[in-house]
């Protein structure tokens, strides 16, 4: 919709963002609505994570995430509880209902991974690949043709 044309510039090649052409003001939050956030950018990337940490911190068999520029993301209601789930990453939770809203990795300091299930419009952030399939549950069958990575996908892939 707002294709800048040309294509020159120093940004990485644009991924075919799932929300390309749609509005870039997204909102979301936890189930009880104590924690609310807004994002003023289109997603940079998205995917499924099958890792054990995502599984245990959500209680779900797989997590769908979408990455956004960190400076485009802000909490607009109560602050979440922050839990360091690994030496390199923190997860944000609603202290009231327990919903996990986001993940911040020290290794990707300029982006934040929002849990797609917490977006008000989760349908606009379709996953683009599967990560950590080595840890996936065998009984979960997702029959798409998205790329699969046994661990973390290399940046930009
Ligand atoms: Zn809540
Ligand atoms: Zn994970």
Which CATH code, of 3.90.1580.10, 1.10.510.10, 3.40.50.300, 2.170.150.70, is assigned to 26-135? 2.170.150.70
The rounded Å distance from CA 69 to ligand 1 centre is 23
pLDDT band at 20, cuts 50/70/90? low
Q: Provide the 3-class DSSP secondary structure of residue 145.
A: coil
Report phi then psi at 133, rounded to 5. Answer: -65, -20
Res 6 pLDDT > 80: no
Question: Among 58, 53, 33, which Cα is nearest to 116's?
Answer: 58
Token duo for residue 126: 């379709």
Lowest mean pLDDT among 9-18, 64-73, 80-89: 9-18
The rounded Å distance from CA 15 to ligand 1 centre is 32
The rounded Å distance from CA 53 to ligand 2 centre is 6
The rounded Å distance from CA 47 to ligand 2 centre is 10
Q: List, in order, residues 6 or more apart from 60 with CB less than 8 Å away.
A: 54, 117
Q: What residues are neighbours of ligand 1 (ion), with CB under 5 Å?
A: 30, 32, 34, 94, 96-97
Token duo for residue 139: 């009984």
Percentage of the chain beyond pLDDT 70 is 83
Q: Which residue has the tokens 């839990």?
A: 83
Query: What is the pLDDT at residue 4?
Result: 43
Question: pLDDT, tens digit, for every residue of 117-157?
Answer: 999 999 989 999 999 999 999 999 999 999 999 998 865 44
What is d(CA 80, CA 95) in angstroms, rounded to the nearest whole number? Answer: 6
Ligand showing the shortest atom-to-Cα distance for residue 78: 1
The rounded Å distance from CA 108 to ligand 2 centre is 14
Domain boundaries, the chain: 26-135
Ligand showing the shortest atom-to-Cα distance for residue 95: 1
Query: Does residue 67 contact residue 116 with C-beta atoms inside 8 Å?
Result: no
N-to-C CA span, the chain: 25
What does the DSSP 8-state code read for residue 126? -
């Amino acid at each position: 919709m707002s294709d800048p044309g040309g294509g020159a510039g120093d940004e990485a090649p644009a991924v075919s963002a799932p929300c390309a052409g749609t509005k870039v003001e997204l909102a979301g939050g936890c189930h009880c609505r104590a924690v609310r956030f807004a994002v003023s950018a289109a997603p940079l990337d998205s995917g499924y994570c099958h890792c054990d940490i995502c599984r245990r911190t959500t209680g779900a068999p797989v997590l769908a995430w979408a990455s956004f520029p960190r400076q485009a993301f802000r909490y607009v209601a109560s602050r979440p509880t922050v839990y360091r789930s690994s030496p390199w990453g923190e997860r944000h939770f609603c202290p009231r209902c327990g919903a996990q809203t986001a993940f911040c990795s020290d290794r990707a300091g300029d982006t934040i991974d929002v849990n797609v299930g917490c977006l008000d419009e989760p349908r606009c952030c379709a996953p683009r690949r599967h990560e950590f399939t080595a840890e996936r549950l065998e009984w979960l069958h997702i029959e798409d043709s998205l790329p699969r990575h046994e661990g973390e996908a290399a940046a930009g892939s």
